[in-house]
Amino acid sequence: MQYRTLGRTGVQVSTLALGAMNFGRIGRTTQDEATAIVDAALDAGVNLIDTADMYGTGDSEEMVGRAVAGRRDDIVLATKATLPMGDGRNHRGSSRRWLVTELDNSLRRLGVDHVDLYQMHRWDPLTSDEETLSALTDLQRAGKIRYFGSSTFPAYRLVQAQWAAREHHLGRYVTEQPGYSALQRAAETHVLPVTEEYGLGVLVWSPLASGWLSGAVRAGRPATTSRAALMPERFDPAVPANRAKLDAVERLAAVADAAGLTMIQLALGFVTAHPAVTSAIIGPRTPEHLHAQLAAADTVLSGDVLDAIDAIVAPGTDLAPEEKFDTPPALLDPALRRRPRPAGPAD
């Protein structure tokens, strides 16, 4: 296992991090399976575990807490908040009111008195940066979190948050968690240059592109990943965007074969080769999935292999735009990009 410094924190973390999204109802992973996955990951040198409050509406945090009991000090423990936790109008977002409440809920589910990294799961357009950073700074001073970070923030929001922290003399985000893979390279255009500029640690989610780069998705046979079962439209070869991805996968598979690598090794080796990336978050659903992914722990791709990947999916190209979840709100809601109509005499 390789290790890198998490941004400018001085904390050393493994280049493969264990993501716990599949623990519980999302991946139907049992507690025994989750504990076996955590045990094997720690034995292999993984020391960063990433979860979130909304994974299984708390299931994942509870299962992680049971799995790490007695070993808390050996783990860099990360969780997230902001996405909805139930139907309550204020049981979501990045307000002080919600973050103070929900962090206590996460600590209770995890069975710990602090987390090492508390991340804002998405940018909350209803809450000011000053409000959020002020709350996070107070929680940090109270000893409930060691550091805080962001997840899937557009590049301009990362810059704005850094400015707000300086302007209001508050703690700042020290990490960002973007989606990034050999099929989803848009982060290279804006997000990763910004993280390098501000010295942010980068924890990449979906480095296997929702299973497209796992080796389980190939031409001429149906996709068998758990994501394919949940979202079949994203794997339907009749969809032009999916045909483009499938073509790229077949060409990437040929590169992997020529280099004597599995698709998983190629995919994880690709994201960890970027100088901005600290760790790739793997999200195994079973111990077998974990071992296949741990085989990439020491994979270092040659320049020729990286050039071959660039020739298939050009730098900055995004073949999986539906997975980004960082689209500016004004592109989704027409009302946000249209001035109100002036009132006329008839009004």
pLDDT-above-90 percentage for the chain: 82
Distance from the Cα of residue 151 to its chain's centroid? 6
Is the pLDDT at 345 greater than 90? The verdict is no
What pLDDT was estimated at residue 339? 84
Find the range with the poorest average confidence among 48-57, 83-92, 333-342: 333-342
Is the pLDDT at 337 greater than 90? The verdict is no
Beta bridge partners of 3: 14
C-beta of residue 94 within 8 angstroms of C-beta of residue 132: yes
Per-residue pLDDT tens over the stretch 244-289: 999 999 999 999 999 999 999 999 999 999 999 999 999 999 999 9
The dihedral sign for the CA sequence 233, 237, 243, 249 = positive
Per-residue pLDDT tens over the stretch 141-153: 999 999 999 999 9
C-beta of residue 323 within 8 angstroms of C-beta of residue 210: yes
Q: Residue 7 carries which side chain, given as an amino acid letter?
A: G
Is the pLDDT at 108 greater than 70? The verdict is yes
| End-to-end CA gap in the chain | 68
Alpha-carbon gap, residue 152 to 324, rounded angstroms = 8
What pLDDT was estimated at residue 281? 98
Question: How many residues does the structure list for the chain?
Answer: 347
Confidence of residue 346 (pLDDT cuts 50, 70, 90): low
What pLDDT was estimated at residue 225? 65
Alpha-carbon gap, residue 129 to 112, rounded angstroms = 27
Within a 13 Å sphere around the CA of 113, how many CA atoms are in the beta-carbon half?
Answer: 3
Mean pLDDT of the chain: 93
What pLDDT was estimated at residue 340? 83
Question: 270: burial class by Cβ within 10 Å (0-12, 13-18, 19+)?
Answer: buried
C-beta of residue 132 within 8 angstroms of C-beta of residue 171: no
Beta-strand relationship, 16-19 and 76-81 = unpaired
Question: Closest Cα to residue 93, out of 58, 139, 53, 56?
Answer: 53
- The 3-class secondary structure across 171-216, one letter per residue, is CCCCEEECECCCCECHHHCCHHHHHHHHCCEEEEECCCHHHCCCCC
What pLDDT was estimated at residue 204? 98
Question: Closest Cα to residue 20, out of 45, 55, 47, 46?
Answer: 55
Is the pLDDT at 49 greater than 70? The verdict is yes
- 156 catalytically annotated: no
Q: Which of 55, 173, 180, 198 is catalytic?
A: 55
Per-residue pLDDT tens over the stretch 184-238: 999 999 999 999 999 999 999 999 999 999 998 887 666 666 666 566 677 788 8
Q: Which fold has domain 3-330?
A: TIM Barrel (3.20.20)
pTM of the model: 0.91
